Amino acid sequence: MSVGEITILPLNDDLTLDMAQINGIVLPVNFSAKIYSQMVQDKYSFVAFVKNPKTGKDEAVGAIGCVLKSDPHACPNTSGLCIASLAVLAKYRSKGIGSKLLNQVIELVECQKKLITVYLQTQVNNDDGIKFYQRHNFSIITRIEKFYRRLDPPDCFVLSRCFH
């Protein structure tokens, strides 16, 4: 299936429901309302839409959610931006939507004058997600045992990329 034009919009209060629905379908972890409002406030989060050919309406199919937050493993000496969520609905994967979402964040980070480390945690068995980030020049910096209380496997990798 090919998709038509992909539109990327900054996350705002009206779009958090779209994003929460996508995350609920795709991701194994839940995010609180507080995290969504921090994503809106920090302004590094985006939602991807494609036009439904039948209805002509734009439909939300993916989203990236980031919060300004440092991490002792990823950025001991720099500011940090945590990618808390990145999710594309299965039907719409491998069409460049995930890359577009990530590149929007990277463009914003590259505009900053200060040193900033973008990082994320993901389950150690998420091969596709890890490969995706490695293709975008992120590296595994550490493994944290028992990071997830309710997931199996419970260990995560921390991946990061530094910008300055």
* Per CB under 6 A, 104 contacts ligand COA: no
* Per CB under 6 A, 136 contacts ligand COA: no
Strands (DSSP E) contained in 89-138 are 116-123
Q: Identify the CA nearest to 65 among candidates 42, 89, 91, 39.
A: 39
* Per CB under 6 A, 132 contacts ligand COA: yes
Alpha helices in 64-138 (DSSP H): 97-111, 127-135
* Per CB under 6 A, 159 contacts ligand COA: no
Letters for 17-46 (x = contact with ligand COA by CB under 6 A, - = none) are ---------xx-------------------
Query: For residue 14, how far is the Cα from the chain centroid?
Result: 18
Category of 56 on φ-ψ map: left (φ > 0), alpha (ψ -120 to 50) or beta: left
* Per CB under 6 A, 95 contacts ligand COA: yes
- Residues contributing to the site for ligand COA (CB under 6 A): 26-27, 86-88, 93-99, 120, 122, 126, 128-129, 132
